[in-house]
Amino acid sequence: MVQSKFKHYEELPLFLNAKTVAEVLGISVAGAYELLHQEDFPVLRIGSRLVVPKEQFLSWVESQTGGI
């Protein structure tokens, strides 16, 4: 499992890219890209870039974990 360099939510950038999502969730970058292409994942498309707003990412994690 990949160890995240982030220890607190406050350390996350305002927008997360696939690499950052992978680091936070402890998954591969390929796995993060799969997640970013799911319909219910809060992704923002800017041209060809896919980014995830920090607050929406945290809400998504909370909804997936039942608020744990």
For residue 10, being part of any structural domain is answered with: no
Kindly state the DSSP code that residue 5 receives in the 8-state scheme. S
Give the confidence band of 3 by pLDDT, cuts at 50, 70, 90: low
For residue 22, being part of any structural domain is answered with: yes
Q: How many other C-beta atoms can be found within 10 angstroms of the C-beta atom of residue 65?
A: 8
pLDDT value at 2 more than 80: no
What is the sign of the dihedral through the CA atoms of 55, 61, 65 and 68? negative
Q: What is residue 67's predicted lDDT score, i.e. its pLDDT?
A: 66
Residue pLDDT, tens place only, 5-51: 778 888 999 999 999 999 999 999 999 999 999 999 999 999 999 99
Full residue range of the structural domain in which residue 59 is found: 18-65
Tally the domains of the chain. Answer: 1
